[in-house]
Chain A
Amino acid sequence: MSRAATCRVSVTVNGRAHTVRVPAATTLLALLRAHLGLTGTKDGCGVGECGACTVLLDGEAILACLVLAPEVDGCAVTTIEHARDARLQRLRRAFADEAALQCGFCTPGMILAAARLPAGATPATIRAGLAGNLCRCTGYTKIVRAVRRAGRRRGPAR
């Protein structure tokens, strides 16, 4: 019953290659947090309803709680910890400057969901792009403002 119950997964996370052996029934979220120690990606609802675990998988913003670890073998994942990604740097800076977070739990997911929006996105486009990310503190206005600010900035952050 438990044949091939563990899988070897080679994945590049934030530019760094990892190879781990995990149970097949491991989500990408658990792979990141428990196996690779990258706890910046937040574990919210675990069933695709809050957006807190949003990461980039081969450049696309997806929910890490609804992807299996064996599926990401050979893929590239970007999380909030990526230090050298210029777009993430600008977004992190803009969220701080606009005070677009309170408890901060939704922030990594918000930033990764915003990372793939076009730089000149209108507030309506930003809201549509972040529609799957819940925030229980700030009420979204400052978040939208921060994403716009990050889009306006050119070049790397200060």
Chain B
Amino acid sequence: MPDLPAFAYTRPCDLAAAMAAIARPGACIYAGGTDLLVALAERRPWVRFVRQLVDVKDIAEAKGLRERDARLRIGALVTADELASHRLVRRHARVLAEAAEQTSAPALRRRGTVGGNVCSPHPAGDITAALLALDAMVEVADGTATREIPLGDFMQAQAEQWPRQQLILAVTVGRCRRSTFSKVGIRPAFSRSLVAVGVVVTDDGLRIALGGLRDRPFVSAAVAASVARTGGLEAALAAECRPPTDGLVSDTYRLRLAATLVRRAVARVGRR
């Protein structure tokens, strides 16, 4: 087992104490730990600054899942396991429940949180792709204020500069009647998606999010608009995606896989 670099640990009991703790130099937010502890154990460059972990698992504002103004407010501490089985998610945001139940492996799903998925998304992040398809907003505590940001904008800001002094409290999503998630990995459990697709039927048509085809999951209006045109989907995917060729599969394979998964997902939401 790789040992961990030395760090201190603190577990603030409320939001004010947490905000004070994360403002200190070397402080790093700690929730499920499924990503962070691995990064620390493997001495990844992005965690070199860490001197103290601030465990946010007692922050009341980041807990629980409930309906608010016809939307679902999903606390940042909600785990993938809870997402997968929650009645409200299954009924009103099925794409998210399906993404959560297919992500990673059982023991990790009991620990990995929504907030962690959003703030350190993998290129193919299943839960993030589902949230993008749902046009999620991120509720962030920043200093003493709380604000809501569209998930896409939040991810863009994260990619440019990691704002360490803000804390994700929740994501909110509108209710949708029809949605689905589709992915393929090297095997069903425990392997990162080669391609992940989230499809939501909105009042204005389809909203499609894609994972594994750029450096992070994204929403493509061009792909959604192309689904009905013969041959249009392949052309739209080729124009919109920059899939990697890696040790697993080629870029061409990923594009063809994406077309298949989009078609299957669209057919499935059509039957719901």
Contacts and interface: CB of A to CB of B under 8 A. Distances in A.
A68 interface: yes
Q: SS class of chain B's interface: helix, strand, loop or mixed?
A: loop
B110 A1 contact: no
Interface size bucket, B side? Answer: 35 or more
Interface string B98-139: 000000111110110000000000000000000000000000
Contacts of B33: 66-68
A110 to B, nearest CB: 12
B190 interface: yes
B6 interface: yes
A70 B54 CA distance: 12
Interface residues of A, number: 37
B254 to A, nearest CB: 23
Contact of A132 (B4, B5, B52, B106): B106
Given A2-B8, A66-B34, A29 B1 contact: yes
A27 B37 contact: yes
A26 B53 CA distance: 12
Contacts of A30: 1, 3
A38 interface: no
Contact of B111 (A5, A67, A128): A67
Interface of B: 1-11, 26, 30, 33-34, 37-38, 40-42, 51-53, 55, 57, 104-108, 110-111, 188-190
